[in-house]
Amino acid sequence: MVLPYDMLTKVDLMSMANGLEVRVPFLDHEVVNFVNALPVASKINAQMRKRILQDAFRNTLPPELYRRPKHGFEVPLLKWLRGDLRHNIEQDWLGGGVCQKPGRF
C-alpha cells in the first residue's frame, strides 16, 4: 500500500504546498478504461511487463532504460534526517525553545 498511503500523499501535500496541480495519469479513469479494453497480448507478455507503455516510448527514451533491472523509488528521509537535515532539525527547528513556544504543538 505504498502508493496510496505514502507516495500519492507526499505528492499531494508537496504539490499543494507549492501551488501546483498534479495529476496521476495512470489512475485516471479514462486511461484505465482504455487500457482495460486492449487485448492482453498488447499489454504484457512473458518477457516484458508494461509492454504497451514501453512500446509507446521506445523511440523517445534511451535504450539503456529498457535493459536495466527494475528498481523502486522512495524519498530517502532517513538518510536526510541522519545527514544533511540533521543540523537544521536539531538547531534551527527544534532548538532554542522553538517547540516550547505557545501554539506550536
Over residues 10-17, the mean pLDDT reads 89
pLDDT at 92: 81
Q: Kindly tell me if the per-residue pLDDT of 37 is higher than 90.
A: yes
Q: Kindly tell me if the per-residue pLDDT of 20 is higher than 90.
A: no
Q: Domain segments of the chain: what residues? A: 2-74, 75-105
Measuring CA to CA, which residue among 72, 71, 70, 77 is closest to residue 10?
77
Model pTM? 0.42
Amino acid symbol at 60? T
pLDDT at 59: 92
Over residues 48-74, the mean pLDDT reads 83
Burial 77-103, CB ≥16 within 10 A → b, else e: eeeeeeeeeeeeeeeeeeeeeeeeeee
pLDDT at 104: 67
Mean pLDDT score of the chain: 82
